[in-house]
Amino acid sequence: DLPIVVIAGRPNVGKSTLFNRLVGRRQALVADTPGVTRDRKEAECTVRGRRIRLIDTAGLEESAPDTLYGRMRASSESAVAQADLVVFCIDARAGITPADEHFAAWIRRQGRPVLLVANKAEGRQGAAAAMEAFALGLGTPLAISAEHGEGLSELMGEIADRM
């Protein structure tokens, strides 16, 4: 079976945008409204010559337990349990939020390998803003911009190295 890479993080950090970038087709629904991507999206793709199964977790699910954290967990826990690598995303422009901290603590408890990605880190302030994510205790944040295509080559190298 192919190695499984799961993109996780709170709603609206850019998970689906990153999924689309890595897959190379507009397969996942991307929207401004948090929670629009309800279903788990999966695709097989090639990253630096390695075939992987990439999973884009939903930020919110209507049918799941009715707290924010409950919904995030419900949509992500089965995917994370199977993951060979979790790409945990935060929004560098928003900074670290309580939801990020809560979700990161849960991710750490799952004991899966994690790659920390600070998305929306385009432009001059991007890298500095991304460093705030060190505080999550998930290692060195990798600054990227899924929308503007910055840092993706480095990210693909990091993913391939961990497969």
Residue 91 in marked binding region:
no
Alpha carbon distance 127, 30 (integer Å): 24
Parallel, antiparallel, or unpaired for β 85-91 and 4-8?
parallel
Q: Alpha helices of 34-83 — where are they, by DSSP H? A: 68-81
Residue 94 sits in the site that holds ligand GDP (CB under 6 A): no
Alpha carbon distance 19, 55 (integer Å): 8
For residues 24 to 63, the per-residue mask of contacts with ligand GDP, x marking binding by CB under 6 A and - elsewhere, is: ------xxx-x--x---------------------x----
Residue 14 sits in the site that holds ligand GDP (CB under 6 A): yes
> End-to-end CA distance of the chain, in Å?
12
Which of the choices Mg ion, ligand GDP, none does residue 126 contact, using the CB cut-off of 5 to 8 A by kind? Answer: none
Token pair, residue 134, equals: 């060190």
Q: How far is the CB of 50 from ligand GDP (least distance, A)?
A: 23
Q: What is the enclosing helix (H) or strand (E) of 108?
A: helix 98-110
# of chain residues touching ligand GDP (CB under 6 A): 20
Interface ranges with ligand GDP (CB under 6 A) = 11-17, 30-32, 34, 37, 59, 119-120, 122, 145-148
Q: Which residues are annotated as a binding site for GTP?
A: 9-16, 56-60, 119-122
